[in-house]
Structure 1
């Protein structure tokens, strides 16, 4: 997402119809499905004709994203390949909730084991003797 501030393009490669929602998702750094839901909700709840006309206007006004244009000499196979994007936010990681819960449980179990080992050492006579020796 290396774009300069103020650049809004439509992205027909990622779009269903003309790529306007895909371009807006890139511009606002939002998930594409969320932009689509917001647009459809706006059409249904706030007045369909205005948003539909606005979509069509954006379709004609906005330029196609430069890297979305097909390059000469590239086969369809290469143009379909897109670099894998790693999502950085926790809720975007794609890890199922059960797996995330299992991972957290494992971490807490390890921490609990370490805490029990420390407690066992601190309450042992060995710790008391070692502490008394260190006081001398």
Structure 2
């Protein structure tokens, strides 16, 4: 999984300070508000998350502007990062559904067109 869409980036566009919480939100698909609230609770109870935040802020790359073409693609890649196996099953199920619908269309046209049906039989 070396795709740029499966890496963690800071999201400076949607971020407040350095974009780390917004990047985590984009990476996981969780709303940024919940990530920020969780960070604040951890930071004020333990203290070390402030250090981790700034380390991530300096070490991670900024999110490329053209990473996703639309919202649906963003949701797809978030699903890939969360559960690659589940996403693969969903893609296979979509292809099976497309194949089934294509077979229904083919069956409809072949059965309603005797000339086409005869041509197909000649090819066999």
Return the TM-score normalized by structure 1.
0.45
Return the TM-score normalized by structure 2.
0.49
The structure richer in helix per residue is 2
* Relative contact order higher in (CA < 8 Å, ≥ 6 apart): 2
